[in-house]
Amino acid sequence: MSDSRHFKKSLSAFDLALIGFGTVFGSGWLFASSNVASIAGPAGIFSWLIAGIAVLALGVVYCELGAAIPSPGGAISYLDLSHGPMVTYLMGLMTVIYMSSIVGLEVVAARQYAAAWWPALNVAGTSNASTLGWFVQLGLIVFFFGLNFSSVRTFALANNIITTIKFVVPAIIVVTLLMHFKPANFHVAGFAPHGFSGIEAAVSTGGVIFAFLGLTPIVAVASEVRDPQRSIPIALVSSIIAAGVVYILLQVAFLGAVPTAMLSGGWESVGKKLSLPFHDIAIQLGIAWLAVVVAIDAVVSPSGCGNIFFSATPRALYAWSNSGTFFKAFAKVDPKSGIPRRATWLTLALSVFWTLPFPSWEAMISVVSASLVVSYAVAPVSVAALRKSHPEMERPFRVKALGVVGPLAFVVATFIVYWTGWQNLCWLLGVQIALYAGYLIVMRKKTVGVMTFAQQIRSSLWVAGYYLLTLIASYLGPFGGIGLVPHPYDFLMVCAVALAVYHWGARTGAPREVKAHAEPSRYGKRSEENAYAEDLGECGV
């Protein structure tokens, strides 16, 4: 019996929606507009649209999982049920890496923007943190720790206040910049100077997909939500749609407000000239008050997002530990506060670590985005596998046409990973393959729960195959690879890889009889045969 029964149901639907809204408006919108413009020009608008559709497809899939299995840790718990401990180990590690690194990313972003009015936070002439700047980052992380260590309600109240404040600023920016809109900007330097490849690159390396980070924190705290069957789908879908609309409006407003004379050398230089896009463009236009508003919100927005991920990371660590493979000491919840406090301490250490080797926001975006999408991408496979193994499970939100939506979501997610480029994927996925091999060596012939080693291998080979085939496609393709498979044939290659792996994973989930015996208190209908709801308590299935 795990400690998940100790989680407190303290969050309302409104709290959950603001967690989603607060997550997507972290540092992404503050930096991405100029990066997207430099990479794709005005056609970067379509980058936001593609990313929004991709994340919405994944979000709909998460709605089914989150409403049916509102367990701590979200996606990690889903994989534990659908494919067993080996897949949970791999994806749990990926999830913990990107979640904890985002806390570091957000405090770095807050410090970089704060340096606009407190220059001592940066090393002179760079965006790197000075000694004072690093200690300011550390102070923010410790503040998040304090908010999250006592109770989830303390975290939620702080998040509600921060999110309510920071959503006013994007609206002010859009309205103000549209008053300086210049239609000529959309054709004077070319609408799509790098064609569709620029749009693709902007999605993954320009910070676009990074900006849509609202899914995991919502499902990570699902076990602490009142009426999760209703609240989770509402929060997921509304967060993505609202964010997509605001992001597109911000991008259009930015593109139209750039001084036309600045485009004489093309869009490529905009990212450097306007590295803090909305602050710098306000200065260029002589709107000093807007620059001040942006600078203030640029500290508040990333801080709020960092606080949310600081709350979500311990839940992911809890679910990862609870799978029964490694780090079992973190599968503990304090019964009084309902907080996984050991995991919260580890989150503090990891968050501080991620501020050490990466001096700028841009330095980590590609890797974190790839980690994010890989961990998101497995959700459609998990849903398909659970449809086969647990058809009796009550699903308050059921994805229609999963045979189309599931593969589509997985294909789009795979493309976003592929667009990240060989330089990032060669070590990110390479390390994952090495860790898979390490698991096979360390855990050989061991049974986790009652799932034999052979059963673990059968249910996890598709993940190793996914990593390996994606690496091969990336190496052969034009995104940092050798270019042996050029456009548009690389498109067909990636589609074939994604579709093959999707159906492979959907057909090789953990055997039903293993799940029924290994996790008898966690999932399924309320019956003598499937008394799975006892451990989750709140899952309502």
Cβ-Cβ contacts under 8 Å for 77 (sequence gap 6 or more): 69, 71, 319, 322
- What pTM value is reported for the model? 0.73
Alpha carbons 31 and 326: distance in angstroms, whole number: 37
- CA–CA separation, 217 and 240 (whole Å): 13
Residue 367's pLDDT is: 66
Contacts of 152 (CB under 8 A, 6+ apart): 8, 10, 11, 221, 224, 311, 338, 339
Domain regions of the chain by residue span: 4-380+397-420
Peptide bond into 488 cis (omega under 30): yes
Tens of pLDDT, residue by residue over 379-436, are 889 999 999 888 888 887 888 888 898 998 899 888 878 877 888 888 888 888 888 8
Token pair recorded at residue 344: 């919260």
Residue type, 217: P
The count of other CB atoms within 10 Å of the CB of residue 531 is 15
Q: 34-48, 132-146, 373-387: which has the minimum mean pLDDT?
A: 373-387
* Cβ(231)–Cβ(57) below 8 Å: no
Please identify which residue in the block is written with the tokens 């080797």: 357
Q: Does domain 4-380+397-420 have CATH number 1.20.1740.10?
A: yes
All residues at 6 or more sequence positions from 401 whose CB lies less than 8 Å from its CB, including other chains? none
- For 459, the token pair is 């249910």
- Give the model's confidence band at 164: pLDDT under 50 very low, under 70 low, under 90 confident, else very high: confident
What sign results for the dihedral spanned by CA atoms 327, 84, 231, 304?
positive
Mean pLDDT of the chain: 79
CA distance 232 to 209: 21
Give me the percent of the chain exceeding a pLDDT of 90.
19
Query: Residue 393 in contact with residue 525, Cβ under 8 Å?
Result: yes
CA-closest candidate to residue 418, choices 364, 480, 487: 480
User: DSSP per residue over 321-390, as a string?
Assistant: HHTSSS-GGG----TTT---HHHHHHHHHHHHHTTSS--SHHHHHHHHHHHHHHHHHHHHHHHHHHHHH-
Check pLDDT > 60 for residue 338. Answer: yes
Rg, Å, the chain Cα set: 22
What's the mean pLDDT in 42-61? 87
End-to-end CA distance of the chain: 18
- Tokens coding 31: 């930096």
Work out the pLDDT band at 334, boundaries 50, 70, 90: low
